[in-house]
Amino acid sequence: MTTLSLSDSPATTLAVDALVIGVHADDGRAVPGPGAAEVDAALGGKLAAILASLGASGSAGEITKIATLGATTAPVVVAAGLGKPEKAADPEAVRQAAGAALRALAGSAKVALSLGSGSPGSGNGLLRAAAEGALLGTYQFVTYKSDLGKSYKAPVAAITLIVPDAKDKAAKAEVKRASALIAAVQQTRDWVNTPPNDLRPPAFADQAGTAATKAGLEVEILDEKALRKGGYGGILAVGTGSAAAPRLVQIRYRPAGAKKHIALVGKGITFDTGGISIKPAQGMADMKSDMAGAAAVISVMLAVAALKPKVAVSAYVPMAENMPSGSAYRPGDVVTMYGGKKVEVLNTDAEGRMILGDALARACEDSPDYLIDTATLTGGQVVALGHRISGVMGTSDGLLGRVKDAGQRVGEPMWLMPIPDEVRAGMDSAIADVMQIVAGFDRGGHMLQGGAFLREFVGEGVEWAHIDIAGPSYNTSAPYGYIGKGGTGVPIRTLIELIEDIASNG
Ligand code: BES
Ligand code: MN
Ligand code: ZN
């Protein structure tokens, strides 16, 4: 993986292949940002004129390369657009600019960044953002390329961040934090991008268990036999159609002196065909990403093991492959879930809530102070909020607000959605305790139906938040900023931010 280090040497003297500076947009022209002063001086005060002659506008995501011809030790200066002037101090603008620059610089070995974190008094917020964005922008998934070819551009190997004092303890801690956190994000991106034939539930559970054990965490994996013995009817129903059996992976982090306990649950459908209620062929391959919630939760545990917050965190991760077959569950089935509730199945494609119901009920047995699940649960989330904003529902306004705010701080936008009484009422079953979806395959408010169903499995009084990441966890469009094609790692950084918030503030 790419290394990250700090330097307080003048940016213009660093032995790197490229030096990244920030520029913002002023009336359609690029204006050098706070980290660009030394470069401007080295270029005889002509940086703005050079940028103008190249037509640079300073808009967000814009990358302009300048040959410095000996004026700086770096042969190339890269001007990364931050957008409007007020964005110069916005962590997300810096994160996106750093990511865009590092994507554009693939093929270079060493890169330095001067994006404002070097200015005295800028604090470490921009340093954190630059570190995260830069590392995120190096991501590539080439595991399945047998020949990378002559034009292949390897990710940048070494990133140097320019700061006022490279020996500053808080700045060094930011480097360590970003390295651990982004390693976790890259792990999730790898898992999400891995083809579904190579990541069926037993393999996924093995990989999760191996990684978590290596990180020093407690691991317990329930296989199909243990799931049957434990009465995990939802996980078993979905998994029964596949030749690869389901799993429930449990991972625990219990530091001494922790005052709170957070439980995390993530949807791990390693491939979602829809089952007997089969999906159309168009786009079905993207359903390899239906385990993005599981991957995120497992990766959060790996990051927690490295960051060591003073709060207990437990993960409950159900994994199954949703296939149509002679042994598959079917519409009309009544399934007895973990804890005894009976669910009338109407559509086998609403499988996420079946495996999550079991896991939520199991998590509540351990009396967590906070319970958070994340899942690629509904196409309705994408319809309502698009590809970049996750939908958040739950039982506690306090927790929901904290989840949304944490997402805002880390650049993973979220929006609060209701769980209306009439939606839940539409799920009353004539023959069982609850129906899995609203009767008559009502197309309205699918995301809310998912939330209403999951709430049935949350214990009385437990503060619970559900994050539907169907859109934001997987980018099917062109790369932008620090996001490439495929798995994004949403909502790992939000969950870590929230865990650190709870560790400090309860
Ligand atoms: N995994 C899908 C949801 C999804 C859709 C994720 C698009 C990412 C992108 C989920 O299991 C599903 O199929 N949901 C159905 C539920 C319906 C049958 C009630 C949906 O949203 O259409
Ligand atoms: Mn489905
Ligand atoms: Zn699904």
77, 100 contact by CB (below 8 A): no
Query: Ligand 1 pocket, 451 CB below 6 A?
Result: no
Q: Alpha helix (H) ranges present in 332-483? A: 352-364, 379-385, 397-410, 421-425, 446-455
Average pLDDT over residues 134-148: 98
Return the minimum-mean-pLDDT range out of 100-114, 116-130, 323-337, 466-480: 116-130
Count of helices and strands (H, E) across the chain: 15, 21
Q: Which residues of 283-298 are buried (b: 16+ CB within 10 A; e: fewer)?
A: eeeebbbbbbbbbbbb
225 counts as catalytic: no
279 counts as catalytic: yes
Question: What amino acid is encoded at 337 in this protein?
Answer: M
Task: Tell whether the model's pLDDT for residue 451 goes beyond 90.
Answer: yes
Task: Tell whether the model's pLDDT for residue 152 goes beyond 90.
Answer: yes
Nearest of 377, 423, 424, 368 to residue 396 by alpha carbon: 368
Structure tokens at 499: 């865990």
Span 241-275, pLDDT tens digits: 999 999 999 999 999 999 999 999 999 999 999 99
Query: Ligand 1 pocket, 390 CB below 6 A?
Result: no
Q: Which of 378, 382, 437, 475 to mutate to test the pocket of ligand 1 (most atoms within 8 A of CB)?
A: 378
Q: Give span(s): CATH 3.40.630.10, the chain.
A: 185-505
Residue 417 burial by Cβ neighbours in a 10 Å radius (0-12, 13-18, 19+): buried
Which pairs count as long-range contacts for 47-56, CB under 8 Å and 24+ apart, including other chains?
A: 51/23, 51/79, 56/23, 56/29, 56/30, 56/81
What percentage of residues in the chain have a pLDDT greater than 70? 99
Q: Ligand 3 (ion): which residues have CB within 5 A?
A: 269, 272, 290, 352
The ligand minimizing its distance to the Cα of 320 is: 3
pLDDT at position 121: 59
Among the atoms of ligand 1, which is closest to the Cα of residue 351? 11
Q: Give the number of other Cβ atoms within 10 Å of residue 500's Cβ.
A: 17
What spacing in Å lies between the alpha carbon of 373 and ligand 1's midpoint?
Answer: 16
Task: Tell whether the model's pLDDT for residue 346 goes beyond 90.
Answer: yes
Catalytic residue among 95, 353, 362, 402: 353
Higher pLDDT, 124 or 122: 124
pLDDT at position 452: 98
What spacing in Å lies between the alpha carbon of 173 and ligand 3's midpoint?
Answer: 38
Q: Alpha helix (H) ranges present in 278-396? A: 292-307, 352-364, 379-385
Return the minimum-mean-pLDDT range out of 110-119, 302-311, 335-344: 110-119
What spacing in Å lies between the alpha carbon of 420 and ligand 2's midpoint?
Answer: 22
pLDDT at position 485: 98
Mean per-residue pLDDT over the chain, rounded? 97
What is the spatial distance between Cα 491 and Cα 338, in angstroms, rounded to a whole number?
26
What is the spatial distance between Cα 320 and Cα 453, in angstroms, rounded to a whole number?
19
Query: Ligand 1 pocket, 352 CB below 6 A?
Result: yes
For 140, phi then psi, to 5°, come to -140, 150
CA angle, residues 92, 299, 389, in degrees to nearest 5: 40
Nearest of 42, 113, 103 to residue 79 by alpha carbon: 113
Nearest of 26, 9, 131 to residue 81 by alpha carbon: 26
pLDDT at position 119: 61
Asked if the 3-142+156-164 domain carries CATH number 2.60.40.1230, the reply is no
Residue identifier of the C-alpha nearest atom 22 of ligand 1: 379
Span 45-65, pLDDT tens digits: 999 999 999 999 999 999 999
Query: Ligand 1 pocket, 472 CB below 6 A?
Result: no
Task: Tell whether the model's pLDDT for residue 87 goes beyond 90.
Answer: no
What is the spatial distance between Cα 85 and Cα 81, in angstroms, rounded to a whole number?
10
- Residues whose CB falls within 8 Å of the CB of residue 276, separated by 6 or more in sequence, listed in order: 241, 324, 328, 329, 330, 331, 348
pLDDT at position 315: 99
C-alpha dihedral (53, 59, 65, 71), degrees to nearest 10? 70
What spacing in Å lies between the alpha carbon of 281 and ligand 3's midpoint?
Answer: 15
Task: Tell whether the model's pLDDT for residue 117 goes beyond 80.
Answer: no
Binned at pLDDT 50, 70 and 90, residue 1 comes out as: confident
Among the atoms of ligand 1, which is closest to the Cα of residue 289? 8
Task: Tell whether the model's pLDDT for residue 442 goes beyond 90.
Answer: no
Query: Ligand 1 pocket, 272 CB below 6 A?
Result: yes
Residue identifier of the C-alpha nearest atom 19 of ligand 1: 350
Binned at pLDDT 50, 70 and 90, residue 118 comes out as: low
What spacing in Å lies between the alpha carbon of 27 and ligand 2's midpoint?
Answer: 47
What is the spatial distance between Cα 95 and Cα 97, in angstroms, rounded to a whole number?
6
Among the atoms of ligand 1, which is closest to the Cα of residue 441? 19
Average pLDDT over residues 282-299: 98
Among the atoms of ligand 1, which is closest to the Cα of residue 347? 18
Catalytic residue among 279, 310, 342, 455: 279
The ligand minimizing its distance to the Cα of 289 is: 1
Average pLDDT over residues 11-37: 94
Query: Ligand 1 pocket, 448 CB below 6 A?
Result: no
Binned at pLDDT 50, 70 and 90, residue 201 comes out as: very high
Span 381-393, pLDDT tens digits: 999 999 999 999 9
What spacing in Å lies between the alpha carbon of 347 and ligand 2's midpoint?
Answer: 9
What spacing in Å lies between the alpha carbon of 380 and ligand 1's midpoint?
Answer: 7
Residue identifier of the C-alpha nearest atom 16 of ligand 1: 350
What spacing in Å lies between the alpha carbon of 353 and ligand 2's midpoint?
Answer: 9
Task: Tell whether the model's pLDDT for residue 180 goes beyond 80.
Answer: yes
Average pLDDT over residues 269-295: 98
Nearest of 297, 296, 300 to residue 309 by alpha carbon: 300
Q: Give span(s): CATH 3.40.220.10, the chain.
A: 3-142+156-164
Average pLDDT over residues 165-181: 96
Residue 387 burial by Cβ neighbours in a 10 Å radius (0-12, 13-18, 19+): middle
Query: Ligand 1 pocket, 380 CB below 6 A?
Result: yes
Query: Ligand 1 pocket, 376 CB below 6 A?
Result: yes
133, 87 contact by CB (below 8 A): no
Query: Ligand 1 pocket, 470 CB below 6 A?
Result: yes
Provide the CA 385 distance to its chain's centre, in angstroms.
17
Task: Tell whether the model's pLDDT for residue 89 goes beyond 90.
Answer: no
> Is the Cα torsion angle 81, 86, 88, 94 positive or negative in sign?
negative
- 185-505 folds as Aminopeptidase (3.40.630)
Span 154-167, pLDDT tens digits: 999 999 999 999 99
